Structure 1
């Protein structure tokens, strides 16, 4: 059985209550060398991981990278299980890992929402047509198109592609270079 310090336990328990299991901000009173020592140990043991935070998301940062972005901390599944918690991050509420780099960006996509269903449909190899999206979500066609262009493309920055298909109409999909929700 792994023995956690009080500080490590507090960090992991707080992370379990936050969206995307963010470990930041750290508990009050934990700063400087003590914070660095605790976090470094937790990263080495696989209980926390560093994730690139996009500047537009305004997430609390662990450290700055100097290129306008920063690094935040996220509790991992093994870390959360040490304190008897299940991760709030599931397939659709987690870290987007960019396929062409090691950078990651956090987004808040709640599981069970229509937006999560839409992303899941677009990640299928054959994508999804507007009629399939309308049937699955009970949206109007213009709402489905608006969710794709406004919600996914503009707000989340996902590279959604579309193509005409004779049998299915316009088919939308997240391309091969699209971030994968893990």
Structure 2
């Protein structure tokens, strides 16, 4: 099974959560400034080491979801395996670890970008920039960074006469 590399901060947050009976991430015991807690939690979510669950204690809310209400975070069995607390399950394959679920919130600009690229005929940079109220360089950066690198989506482009370069998701 491939080893998941954690930063020191990720390891501290994850270790503290695994030490709790319920595996709750909050309250975070380490002192982090600014949006560092959010960044650490997002990266742990992407790796599948923590998961979102309904929050019963309002002091531990991670975010609010329109459908599910207050959401908090707890560790997954993969977190304990990664930290060496438990042995890996025989049913967990390296492919399952590598394809940890990527969370995508509905109603965000990133979600709107993905929908525009999935639409029949795709979308041009100018169309996306106008719809999202972004600059052209922001659109290109969003396609190259979050879509390709983080979400693993394949963005294609082709020149269409009378329309210019059109981008779409495969």
User: What TM-score do the two structures reach when normalised by structure 1?
Assistant: 0.44
- Relative contact order higher in (CA < 8 Å, ≥ 6 apart): 1
TM score, norm. by length of structure 2: 0.47
